[in-house]
Amino acid sequence: MRIGNLSHAILFSAEEGSGALPQALSLAKYILCSHKEGKNTACGTCDACRKTHNFVHPDFHFVVPVNRSAAVPAGRAPVTDDFLSLWREALLENSLITEQEWYKKIDIENKQGLIGVAEAANLLHKLKYKPFEGGSRVILIWLPERMHPAAANKLLKILEEPSPGTYFLLVSHRPDQLLPTIRSRCMHIQVPPAGQIPPSDEGYMQLEKLLDLCLAGKPAGIIDWAEEMANLGREEQKKFISYALQILRQYYMVFLGVPSLAWVDPARQTKAQRYADRMSDTFFTSVCDRLNTAALRLERNVNSRILFCSLAFDFFLSLQR
């Protein structure tokens, strides 16, 4: 894996019950595996893999929403470590666990879970030390939207000055509720909802055509492409945006060196690699952002000629480095 490409903070977002948490776990396993050279997935047999498999690797930290329960000594704020064995058990049982299932498991009655200031302080304390196993370190934050703003601000300081080899994987069901400052420091991966229709061949063709023109440095062709897109019906245009986001997500996983998370059809693997090799972290962040904005604008019946033209030039500019 070209682990050097990996952003030190990645936000996985998806609807509750979809694959965001399993994907983050699988990436964490990959980061921590000590025999991954030349492989696309964790080896599954090294010492590190054996530990991450049971979620007991000393450099794999968890932050999840909790609250006061009988398990927490009176007089201090509850933190994830108070519930760690229950959390490990929950993950081993079902990595698609929902928020309510978790609260039921930790028996906090009808209270809402929170990620409080004590949690952030605890995490800062842990990060003062070097990784135990001397390699990388992963902090998985499940449902960062439950973070108290004061805790989020503490976390922000670490995200601003990441220490090498430390990776934050955030898994959110409501990324719009995160502090914009947190969101902007993360590479954002939208995990497709379960049952999402995979991109059609036409979706691939439309996107590849644009990418080829951009990579060949042919702005004139880009205007023709935008014109073709503008002539499609609104539903077709929306479909293109949604497919493009899905396809770019696949390319991003290939770019990161984790094609096992990309679910690329084997027939498309070589092509995906070829595109991914020409892309950068900034490209993915900026065009995915633009595509999401474009999707919102299409809902509002904007002039699609202008929309696709500016979208196409955003692609063009983001690829010229």
Binding site for Zn ion (CB under 5 A): 33, 35, 42-43, 46, 49
Residue 30 or 243: the one with the smaller Cβ distance to Zn ion is 30
* 175 vs 171: CA distance, rounded Å: 9
Residue 11 is classified by DSSP as E
Residue 29 or 173: the one with the smaller Cβ distance to Zn ion is 29
Residue 49 or 287: the one with the smaller Cβ distance to Zn ion is 49
DSSP 88-105: HHHHHH-TT--HHHHHHH
| Min separation Cβ 30 and Zn ion, Å | 9
Residue 41 or 190: the one with the smaller Cβ distance to Zn ion is 41
Residue 42 or 79: the one with the smaller Cβ distance to Zn ion is 42
| Min separation Cβ 184 and Zn ion, Å | 33
Residue 28 or 33: the one with the smaller Cβ distance to Zn ion is 33
| Min separation Cβ 259 and Zn ion, Å | 17
Residue 1 or 147: the one with the smaller Cβ distance to Zn ion is 1
DSSP 143-212: -GGGB-HHHHHHHHHHHHSPPTTEEEEEEES-GGGS-HHHHTTSEEEEPPPTTPPPPPHHHHHHHHHHHH
Residue (of 79, 60, 58) closest to 68 by Cα position = 79
Q: What is the Cα 194 distance to its own chain's centre?
A: 16
Residue 35 or 271: the one with the smaller Cβ distance to Zn ion is 35
* 9 vs 189: CA distance, rounded Å: 11
| Min separation Cβ 253 and Zn ion, Å | 19
In what helix (H) or strand (E) does residue 60 lie, and over which residues does it extend?
strand 60-63
| Min separation Cβ 48 and Zn ion, Å | 5
| Min separation Cβ 120 and Zn ion, Å | 30
| Min separation Cβ 26 and Zn ion, Å | 12
* 283 vs 125: CA distance, rounded Å: 34
Residues shown for the chain: 321
Angle at 192 between CA 200 and CA 16, to 5 degrees: 150
| Min separation Cβ 138 and Zn ion, Å | 14
* 262 vs 157: CA distance, rounded Å: 31
Q: What are phi and psi of 170, to 5 degrees?
A: -105, 135
| Min separation Cβ 219 and Zn ion, Å | 46
Sign of the CA dihedral with 194 first, then 197, 198, and 203 last: negative
Cβ–Cβ < 8 Å for 42, 33:
yes
Residue 36 or 185: the one with the smaller Cβ distance to Zn ion is 36
